[in-house]
Amino acid sequence: MRDLTQEIVELIRRTSTDLPEDMQKALRSAREQEEPGSAAQGALDTMLINQDMSRRLSRPICQDTGTPIFEVSYPVGWSTRQLTTQIKQAVQIATDKSYLRPNAVDSISGENSGDNTGVEFPTIHFHEWDEEAVHIGLMLKGGGCENVGAQYSLPNGPLKAGRDLEGVRRAALDAVNKAQGQGCAPGVLGIAVGGDRGASYAFSKHQLFRPLGDRNPDPELAELEETIKDQANELGIGPMGFGGKTTVLDVQMATMHRLPASFFVSVSYMCWANRRRSMTVRGDEVTYE
C-alpha cells in the first residue's frame, strides 16, 4: 500500500479552508431570505466574505478546527494500523502548517498536546469494503456546535415525547430551541433514532456527511426531515441567534435497530462552518471531492 500522508494533509487543508459547494449555496440563498440591513443578513454576509477570504488565503474558515473525524473505507488487504499512523502524521503536519489549531488537551490537567494527537484523538473510523479504492471522508467538528448536541431517552415526560415519530420531532425541536445561536446557526442537524447511546451519537454524526437536500429513502422519515427543518426555522432564532428566518439549513435523519428497552434520539448539531470533504485514491490517482 502507498503512503498517503501528504495527500491527507491536502485533504485537511481543503476541508479547513474551503466550505463544500452545497453549504456555500445554502448560505447564499439564506442571505436572500433575510431582511435587508438586519443583523441576521449582516451575519450571513460576514460568513460569505469570510469563506471567500479563507479559500483565497488558504486559511482556516474558523479558528476552532474542531475534532478531526475521519471515515475511511479501504479495500481488502490494506493495513488500518499504517493508515492510522499516516493520518496522525498528516494531522501533525497540518497543525504545524496552521491548517489546524492544536486542539487536543488532556482532560484533567488541561495540557495541550500541541499537535492534535492524543488518546483517541483524532477520531478515525475504518470500514473495509469491496471497492479497489480508498475513500477518506473528513469532518472538522467544532466545539461550540458539539456542545449543543443532545441525546434524548424517550419517553420524555416534560417534552411529552413518546416512542414514535412525533416524539422524535419534539426532541429535535427542543434541541434546536435550547441551542439558540450557541452552535453558530444556521446549522445542520444530523439525527439518529435508536442504537445504544454511543452508536446513536456516532450515527447522528454520520448523517452530517450526506449532501444537503439528500432525503431519507423512507418517505415518512423524509417528510419528518422536512417538517423539522421548517419548524426549526419558525422558531426565529436566526443566524448567530440574532433573530431571523434562517436557523437550520437542513435536517438529515436515519434510524438504527435498538434494544426493546431503549429509544434514543441523538441530535448532532453542525455549525454553518460545516467543514466536510473527502478524497478517493484509486491506484496512483487521487481525487478530492
Partner 1 sequence: MIHKLTVPISDEAIEALHVGDQVELSGVIFTARDAAHKYMVESFIKTHGNPPASEAALYELLKEKFDGGVIYHCGPVVAKEDGEWRFVAAGPTTSIREEVYQDYVIEHFNLKAVIGKGGMGPRTLAACEKFKAVYLHAVGGAGTLIAERVQQVEDVHKLKEFGVPEAFWQIRVQDFPAVVTMDSHGASIHAVVVAQSDAKMKELAPV
Per CB under 8 A, which region of 86-94, 199-207, 259-267, 271-279 contacts partner 1?
271-279
207: left (phi over 0), alpha (psi -120 to 50) or beta: alpha
Per CB under 8 A, which region of 103-111, 124-132, 189-197, 253-261 contacts partner 1?
103-111
Question: Three cell numbers at 236?
Answer: 426565529
CA separation for the pair 133, 202 (Å, rounded): 24
Bridge partners for 105 per DSSP: 112
CA separation for the pair 157, 2 (Å, rounded): 54
Applying CB under 8 A, among 122, 190, 194, 238 the residue interacting with partner 1 is 238
Nearer to partner 1, 101 or 163 (CB): 101
Contact 73, 79 (CB under 8 A): no
82 is a contact residue toward partner 1 (CB under 8 A): no
Residue among 86, 118, 117 nearest 3 (CA)? 86
Scan residues 210-229 and list those touching partner 1 (CB under 8 A).
none
Helix H or strand E encompassing 152: strand 150-153
Helix H or strand E encompassing 233: helix 219-234
Nearer to partner 1, 70 or 272 (CB): 272
Per CB under 8 A, which region of 45-53, 133-141, 188-196, 257-265 contacts partner 1?
45-53
Applying CB under 8 A, among 159, 165, 212, 256 the residue interacting with partner 1 is 159
CA separation for the pair 111, 100 (Å, rounded): 17
CA separation for the pair 53, 201 (Å, rounded): 33
Nearer to partner 1, 242 or 288 (CB): 242
33 is a contact residue toward partner 1 (CB under 8 A): no
Per CB under 8 A, which region of 119-127, 133-141, 200-208, 237-245 contacts partner 1?
237-245
Per CB under 8 A, which region of 1-9, 71-79, 174-182, 201-209 contacts partner 1?
174-182
Scan residues 240-269 and list those touching partner 1 (CB under 8 A).
240-243
Q: How far is the CB of 220 from partner 1 (least distance, A)?
A: 19
Contact 13, 93 (CB under 8 A): no
Q: How far is the CB of 3 from partner 1 (least distance, A)?
A: 26
139 is a contact residue toward partner 1 (CB under 8 A): no
- Dihedral angle of Cα 67, 73, 77, 83, to the nearest 10 degrees: -20
189 is a contact residue toward partner 1 (CB under 8 A): no
DSSP track, 104-144: -B-TTT--B-SSS-BTTBSEEEEEEESSSSEEEEEEEE-HH
Distance of CA 31 to the CA centre of its chain: 21
Applying CB under 8 A, among 2, 125, 127, 160 the residue interacting with partner 1 is 160
Residues at the site binding partner 1, with contacts judged by CB under 8 A: 39, 42-43, 46-47, 49-50, 53-54, 57, 59-65, 98, 100-103, 105, 110-112, 114, 142-144, 147, 158-160, 169-170, 173-174, 177, 180-182, 184, 231, 234-238, 240-243, 271-273
